[in-house]
Amino acid sequence: MPLETMGEEINNGIWGTPFFRMLKWIPAIAIIVVMLWGYYVFVVLICLLQMDNLWGKIFTLVMYHLSFIFFFWSYFKTMITSCKPVPRQFKIPPAWVNNCIAFDNYKFFVLFVNYAFTYCFQLTFLLLPYCIQAWNEDIHTVSQYNIIAAFFVVAGWLVRNLCVKH
């Protein structure tokens, strides 16, 4: 089987047009938007507006930012590391990173999966009490809906990471 890169696979026919090359970025951009929305919900709505204990707030923000930075960095490195030509049977083409997973970026992909699990695990348990509190109140605000939605999105990613073999 000939060696081919990811770019050569899609440059044939209609799939090589700029429109279709832009479409393949939709899953990666969606993941980034969800990550940034989750950042807003946790840092602004929970840590800055709802937490009262200063030392608890500082500790939580430091732990969250470490987890978020590692998660985002490994995701970004998985996306931008170019794949050298490899046989097709050694490629993993996940759409959410908009890149093939081969020898050159496999380390970053494994880090991304592990950091995603750690991030989702940490965030699920940090959001749980605030989600229960927001769920039980009679008057719901936009921030409460954001907290509830963020909890279910993060918990869903956590369950997905536990159940799916990469």
Q: What is the pLDDT along the chain (166 residues), one digit of tens a residue?
A: 444 444 444 455 666 677 777 787 888 888 888 889 989 988 998 889 888 899 989 999 999 999 999 999 998 998 888 777 666 655 666 667 777 777 788 888 889 888 988 888 888 888 888 888 888 887 678 888 888 888 888 888 778 767 765 4
C-alpha to C-alpha distance for 31 and 136, rounded to whole angstroms: 29
Question: What is the pLDDT, as a whole number, of residue 7?
Answer: 45
Q: Is residue 1 part of a domain?
A: no
Q: Where are the alpha helices (DSSP H) in the chain?
A: 6-10, 18-23, 26-39, 54-80, 106-136, 142-163
The two tokens of residue 24 are 């393949």
Residue 134 lies in domain: 6-163
> CB count, 10 Å around CB of 136?
7
Our count of domains for the chain comes to: 1
The two tokens of residue 127 are 């959001």
pTM over 0.85: no
Tokens 């998660």 found at: 71
Tokens 């409460």 found at: 144
> CB count, 10 Å around CB of 34?
14
Question: What is the pLDDT, as a whole number, of residue 139?
Answer: 67
Q: Is residue 158 part of a domain?
A: yes
Q: What is the DSSP letter of 100?
A: -
Amino acid at 97: V
Distances 47 to 18, 35, 52 between C-alpha atoms, Å: 42, 16, 8
